[in-house]
Structure 1
């Protein structure tokens, strides 16, 4: 809105410049730097003065030292700029809609009439309604690839951040005027799928979970598969950690060795290993040649940890003010809990090599397209996809294009052959690779070397991503492609972009990686393998239950079905806003209490501002027609109108920077300014014409809040 007014001022100044014989210029105006005042300032007088004086004084300036010539020019320019500014101001004074026009220090300041400007803002919002803030149509087609969940894994809170970012970005770009395709790339094959299906066939064949639990169940099987296959690594990792960080454990090595010998007659093998531990050397999973040795040794490790815990508790009782003891106690307790989990399945140790061989054999069943295996893959894949579609429907997230990893393997192999034929790729140590830095002629290591196929002909992520990107450019006519992928993939995606550039695709220059940091728990990073993820369906259920409780408290007379609807809007809005209201380059430490907060910088605070505006407007039969008379505007009214005017600019900024956070911050600030206005400025009780003006301001705020929330994928309830 402010931009429209400044464009009008720029056009008028250009008319004046023509009248004064200066000719039209490219003008850049900025807001006047005075609090509580709307207006635009132009420095065109300085530009004109500089041009004139450089021409007039050229012979004189040429004879002076450079520094002195510059000083003389600056002195004269200030005087001339003020004179020109006064000329321009004199011509603008009679124009309609301006409170005053002044020439100050060589600048032309055009101060808008407050009532005129407020009417212009409110009229724009109310007339354009759902289109307020929308940009002009643009010819560029953009594809945003986001979400990208893996089948055979459960959808968790980390996936939610990606999905919310991508969906909001698509909404913002469309609203800004771009032709946008929302794309999802489903990881429906890969080692994680092979591991899950191996574990199913080996330990769960014939089992089938309830329909609504299939995705979760597959995720649990994947976590189990990884625990089984990595069991030896986990055991040895704990031993190495104890050997390096726990002096009491190292000091107890001799005692532990004697106990092993006395109870199990275990000698040379364990003695050698314990010697390695005591000398600080790192153990490897294959260091235990006799499987029974670790089976016998593991209970003794637990006894030692129990002994350390007891000693630390005694020390804490004796030294309650010692600040180191709580930390040591927590660390030892965590290690003991890990030991307990591993002890429950110590019988897995001897079986791990067999299981790893079976997984390799299972992978070969996929490679040769074994019919029975493909049928199982298709059935379990469908279970995951059904869950994904249900979650997307609940979150109101929609995709125009669905890609599947399994569909681009053969295309990828063909692309590798083409890149080899063109000399872009080469064979290095038996692998097809692209030496990107060398091909780009870079001396400094930047993009490194990208393998694009395994030596046995099986595909890599890069094989499939090259095929997928080619599809985007050729099949879908994409001018610009955006990937919403976590920050750990930054180098890899830059490598893909550069290979596409070497391949000759001009669109590669406009490829963009919208990186985001992970979501962690207060206790640390989440991991599908470890099974310590917060599943989306669990957190959504808790949020919706809590939202329903709050709606019951706030509005007990609301009909039950309406309460359910509002609770869903508020609960899901809370989840989405918690993912979008932090910079995507920052880790989100997901705290359920914070996510469920209905105060401050949170979606319910913003939604409640919208509902409050609705409640005010419900009490009038119809919105009075404008124009509206704003008299003696309060600071709260000025701040609110000013923020409404900024919405189109913030939409453009969010689209240009690929940053939904801009809109998340905008709607929060708008809600905050509206609440400030609500508590200071009576609306329904005000006298006319102020009453009508304030009702229009409330209606404009309600509309802009709804528009902004919609760009975040968040509902705007009319009651709460």
Structure 2
């Protein structure tokens, strides 16, 4: 079933062409192009038929055009050189577009339901503190992709993968257990407090090898299921994760599922991966640690050695990620990851490891460049960041001033509601409008620009369109599409179709 009107026009053109060709004794696929402006709407090239029909393309076009009758959707058929050009019937098109749009409302233009299930993993930040602007592109790109693919008809689930077993979590947990903060954070929220522990503990580990050894021991206990260590780490991670989810909700981003990395350690998945890799001909053991030699998979330099277990028997993030992807493959048809550009090599190594295990699948990946400050890349560990919460609040305040200047007549309550939508919309729009792999240097004046081709402009156009649609509902069944006679109106009808 074809859902939108122009697609029905295209389908009808394809049908009449197929019938016309069949009457001429020609069995050929119908491939349609968009016609050049002013020469119709769809064009059928006859050049591929010349040899089969032993005729010049222009003669074939004339013969086909003369055999096809116009109707409500096909207003005119004409031969132009070696092409058959089809003009859509705007009266029928406009009537159908208006009826469809009013009937389907916000589902107008949506794709037909697809069989494939998509599992889209995004955000998946280390649960050691608040998200900073440097990685803001990840959840915004991920959530936008999910919305677009759902509108296209796919069954999409979004997922946050929580790294609750890695070294960063151990550093934070060690800090919470052993350190006192010099100052309380500006915000009364767990993740702002915990990131200070994380930063201070990192500094301690850099300065004192004995502390680094304690962290190594904690990591070993965490991965080998020591109940006290596991419970403390999980509690810390859950506190941070809840706050991250609150921040994301302010951006209108939520997750269908949360998957904990520790699950794959505890259920034996990681051990099974390690044993399978050890048996591989590409596996090499050095002083109790194991790695894969990946040179034959197109990976060069020092990175040909892909370590999957340390000498003390603990696994690495990459090993646990491999177990996670095997789990993904069992739950979805199309796995998609949204990742920073620094993960490109990691994804090549993951694909090679999967192939070594005999798995002929890999995830689709959307890579993005990080957002940096004018003075350099942001880093949670070094404390050089602008947090997403700060950006949301600044955007909201700037939007408030702008809305108050333009609409001083509305109530404070209504203004605050508009401001939240406009502020968050500006953030999302200014991230998504730039190609994902293009670098962004964060500047307040650019991120919160309300002029020109901006989110408020798009939102205002949407609000006006909704207002028109609401009025159109009152006139349902009373409109006459023949009144749409100007070139601008016809172009708009075609665009909406």
Given candidates 23, 33, 41, the residue that maps to 1:30 is 33
What's the CA shift for 1:355? 4.1
**C-alpha separation between the residues in 1 aligned to 2:302 and 2:86?**
51
Aligned match of 1:594: 446
What's the CA shift for 1:127? 2.7
Higher helix share: 1
Aligned match of 2:292: 434
Determine helix, strand or coil for the equivalent of 2:18: helix
Determine helix, strand or coil for the equivalent of 1:507: coil
Aligned match of 1:461: 317
Give structure 2 stretches of 5+ with no counterpart.
none
Determine helix, strand or coil for the equivalent of 2:42: strand
Compared with structure 1, are the counterparts of its residues 363 and 82 closer, same or farther at alpha carbon in structure 2 (3 Å cutoff)?
closer
Aligned match of 1:486: 340
Map 1:352-391 → 2, pairs under 5 A: 352-364=208-220, 366=222, 372-391=228-247
Provide TM-score, normalisation by structure 2: 0.89
Aligned match of 2:474: 622
What's the CA shift for 1:535? 0.6
What's the CA shift for 1:573? 0.9
**C-alpha separation between the residues in 1 aligned to 2:325 and 2:382?**
32
Aligned match of 1:161: 137
Provide TM-score, normalisation by structure 1: 0.63
Given candidates 149, 155, 158, the residue that maps to 1:179 is 155
2:480 corresponds to 1:504: no
Aligned match of 1:199: 175
Higher strand share: 2
Aligned match of 1:552: 404
CA offset digits 1:676-700 (Å, max 9, x no partner): xxxxxxxxxxxxxxxxxxxxxxxxx
What's the CA shift for 1:225? 2.8
Determine helix, strand or coil for the equivalent of 2:336: strand
Compared with structure 1, are the counterparts of its residues 621 and 504 closer, same or farther at alpha carbon in structure 2 (3 Å cutoff)?
closer
Given candidates 629, 637, 655, the residue that maps to 2:489 is 637
Aligned match of 1:415: 273
**C-alpha separation between the residues in 2 aligned to 1:188 and 1:129?**
43
Compared with structure 1, are the counterparts of its residues 423 and 141 closer, same or farther at alpha carbon in structure 2 (3 Å cutoff)?
farther
Compared with structure 1, are the counterparts of its residues 434 and 383 closer, same or farther at alpha carbon in structure 2 (3 Å cutoff)?
same
Aligned match of 1:39: 41
CA offset digits 1:319-369 (Å, max 9, x no partner): xxxxxxxxxxxxxxxxxxxxxxxxxxxxxxxx6445444444544554565
**C-alpha separation between the residues in 2 aligned to 1:380 and 1:211?**
17
CA offset digits 1:2-49 (Å, max 9, x no partner): 333122111111222233x324431111121024x6421111x32332
Contact map agreement 1:41 1:108 (CA 8 A) in 2: yes
Aligned match of 1:707: none
**C-alpha separation between the residues in 2 aligned to 1:136 and 1:163?**
26
Determine helix, strand or coil for the equivalent of 2:237: helix
CA offset digits 1:55-98 (Å, max 9, x no partner): xxxxxxxxxxxxxxxxxxxxxx5xx2222211211122444444
What's the CA shift for 1:428? 4.7
Map 1:315-326 → 2, pairs under 5 A: none
Contact map agreement 1:447 1:494 (CA 8 A) in 2: no
Determine helix, strand or coil for the equivalent of 1:204: coil
CA offset digits 1:287-334 (Å, max 9, x no partner): xxxxxxxxxxxxxxxxxxxxxxxxxxxxxxxxxxxxxxxxxxxxxxxx
Compared with structure 1, are the counterparts of its residues 617 and 6 closer, same or farther at alpha carbon in structure 2 (3 Å cutoff)?
closer
Given candidates 534, 540, 563, the residue that maps to 2:392 is 540
**C-alpha separation between the residues in 1 aligned to 2:63 and 2:227?**
86
Map 1:285-304 → 2, pairs under 5 A: none
Given candidates 6, 11, 14, the residue that maps to 2:15 is 11
Aligned match of 2:373: 521
What's the CA shift for 1:586? 0.6
Contact map agreement 1:416 1:425 (CA 8 A) in 2: no
What's the CA shift for 1:553? 2.1
Determine helix, strand or coil for the equivalent of 2:160: strand
CA offset digits 1:403-458 (Å, max 9, x no partner): 122222352133101232354634256432223344x6x69889834221112211
How many residues of Structure 1 are paired with residues of Structure 2 in the alignment?
490
**C-alpha separation between the residues in 1 aligned to 2:300 and 2:80?**
52
Determine helix, strand or coil for the equivalent of 2:474: coil
Contact map agreement 2:158 2:257 (CA 8 A) in 1: yes
Map 1:99-138 → 2, pairs under 5 A: 99-138=75-114
Compared with structure 1, are the counterparts of its residues 97 and 400 closer, same or farther at alpha carbon in structure 2 (3 Å cutoff)?
closer
CA offset digits 1:221-255 (Å, max 9, x no partner): 2223334444xxxxxxxxxxxxxxxxxxxxxxxxx
Given candidates 249, 253, 277, the residue that maps to 1:393 is 249
Map 1:680-695 → 2, pairs under 5 A: none
Compared with structure 1, are the counterparts of its residues 542 and 407 closer, same or farther at alpha carbon in structure 2 (3 Å cutoff)?
same
Determine helix, strand or coil for the equivalent of 1:218: helix
Compared with structure 1, are the counterparts of its residues 472 and 375 closer, same or farther at alpha carbon in structure 2 (3 Å cutoff)?
closer
What's the CA shift for 1:131? 1.6
Aligned match of 1:452: 308
**C-alpha separation between the residues in 1 aligned to 2:299 and 2:126?**
38
Compared with structure 1, are the counterparts of its residues 364 and 91 closer, same or farther at alpha carbon in structure 2 (3 Å cutoff)?
closer
Given candidates 127, 130, 139, the residue that maps to 1:151 is 127
Compared with structure 1, are the counterparts of its residues 518 and 205 closer, same or farther at alpha carbon in structure 2 (3 Å cutoff)?
closer
Compared with structure 1, are the counterparts of its residues 641 and 146 closer, same or farther at alpha carbon in structure 2 (3 Å cutoff)?
same
Contact map agreement 1:38 1:114 (CA 8 A) in 2: no
